[in-house]
Chain A
């Protein structure tokens, strides 16, 4: 009896948790479309695989951004890193093999993260301003790099690995999402590193007083964020058989919205990887569902906004009522 009470209590606590918010929204929207679109292919396995594949680069970006947000930084440069890394990867593929191309592309991410982090710490300027600046610089470099031309990729191993491949019947893009998401989940929830990350975001003064190397941790978080974006760039390049300077440009706001809906605080200290992934999938589902519903594109835009607002309202209400 007592044990039962306890578990009930625990259940309630879980249900009331801020992070639970995304589950309400996610399943509400899913349910909504499942009913409205019951006579279409919405509720089919292949449709969901489509959504997962489409949102794979976004989920990876969202996971990375969660790290930056966890320490209390915003990283606006991720969209531009996607483009630059994809271009660098595609260009390198014309001269070398996959390992060097991938390394070069990821190095773009590491470097940008490092520069972002060092500038923020040295100049003591908000991450918003610094990454807004680097976003512009990187976008410019990406445009300059190939003079706005797109770079095709013909290496089939690459497009398999980062795009169209399947492993044990599972789309490789889903695998990427699960592996990166899983690693991030473990780091944030199970490892000391994640604890320190959140401590730095929650109260940097206290974290410093307890001997945590705040500056270094913030640097790592920004590197994680832009390196994830670089990986997202490779996934885009693999999926599209080529790179172009516009990749990722439109994704920044979607990713920020997805991460925020997923329960990660935009001001540091609270992070939820599962929420970030469900958040991006939610965006994908809404997009997909609206297209399948046959709305015109203007109507789709309106409906997307309405659904988001309703979903958020319902999620908030559920949490309040417990």
Chain B
């Protein structure tokens, strides 16, 4: 056998939603997706294969798993933002009829409201809740701080022994000070901020755990079945091979559902103690308090450009809020290259629980800071803000997207001078950009199996967050084998299938799709080898399409799919695929344009229309990519106008741990959205789940600026802030 050609590639790995780049060596195998115009499935609009299950209520989410003898667990959480636990007396709870297991050894000190203190499993959810109330905990409340501003004051209570302000190492390139002091530059200075935001996955975090001897089966609402497996195995001190994790359907993660987390370990322990399966799904308040949030950031920035609009210098001091130990850095300056840069980032410790990755971690925050500053600077320069960006953005894809977006929104209709309109309700148009990696990583091991009866199955331990993984996995195999997508059964969401990584960092598609393609190619090659022997022709002359095998060059010898598969013998064929870097790429580009109406008497902002453009290289499923764009825009709109986690400084408690005062927009708040998949014929697939959320809030903020001529420096843009900016308060 000839020596396998190898290739060194950069690949991404995602740990808890944070994506890192590493360099690895992989086999260098020629493979191409091919021309999308010749394809039956890929790049087309494919309704999701599990759609019927979801619209009928048949789809079983973790929350829906019911097992014989199953118990329900609940967690008792700290009412205090910071306290030492003097004692826990669970004797009354243990005596309550129906209670089967109680855990009280979770911690001796709590650092935020909502931290786990004790847990129970009981025969019904109500009894489990009743039991929690019978657990007596003696707390010794300790000083706390929940506001990042207060935490920075020297007199503030210390959240960590090292103090409340971490980091702050300056990062510098170029000569910042002389760039700012040049006589031909225009400088803009301001402070912008974004508050912490909750994920609000509709299906809460949670698991169902069932022990079979020393083996554990766990259904989990997760973005990473293998990361849940590994964390459970580690925490329970059992081999990973003893843990099976299943997630057939899950109701949203957005970066918050990696790993087993506290509730996972508690659930498994209770199930072991009780000798019965246990379901532990968090309640909405627990979701809000204890499952992470996207960190907030406050950025003091100074930005300069030459009079003709060339960015020349950037300086920023950013303060991130990610809980006690959280790191909440933001990639600044964002998107537009600046030659002279100095940044300092500080992480502020507060008693609000740990942050988690939230769809495009750090980027929507960075976008709001950068794009607001860009607009403000363009204004000072007297330049059209779009022209200013086009001048400073070297990315050719985005350049094309800018032109397209400007045309679709009607950019020429905007106010030449911000706030120039008249009347009570003012219109404005603004825009902002997005950048993302979207490359994949090695590791996925899908198996394609063709049975002698013609059945086709593809198995992989990945998961579908609603992004459509299951659908493109089936579509890739159907495309390769010339079948109808209905003939391919895609089995995912089970660690008994081949390994695949967690779904985060928009890495899933670029990791999974190439591996599935390679498996399908391998299966096809094996099938055609058999057929070629049978037909006594060269395999290269065989064509597999439309459910049959034909011979090139007009031969009448044709086999139906079934006939071909019947040649495979009893066991059929089973081929594993491996990731192939040649099929995927990194670096996707997007931009969005927003049109708003601002009511200058009530301060209310209504988003009228959003044009969102996003590329992702080779498109797998156009329908699903569009859905991701819609979803990103809608979450971005929520961030722009509504979302914020509010904490009370007096009590350290969250004021809106629900879905009522934590405001999410609904049907009556939706603008007209035009989702445009920008076809960028790279021939390589890239992920794009995250980037469409990045620029929306900034684009809306800029549209508000264009409408009223006033900058709202912090999100969300509420009526109160607008009225204040207009000088009405």
Asked if chains A and B come from one complex, the reply is no
Q: Which residues of B contact A (CB under 8 A)?
A: none
Q: Which residues of A contact B (CB under 8 A)?
A: none
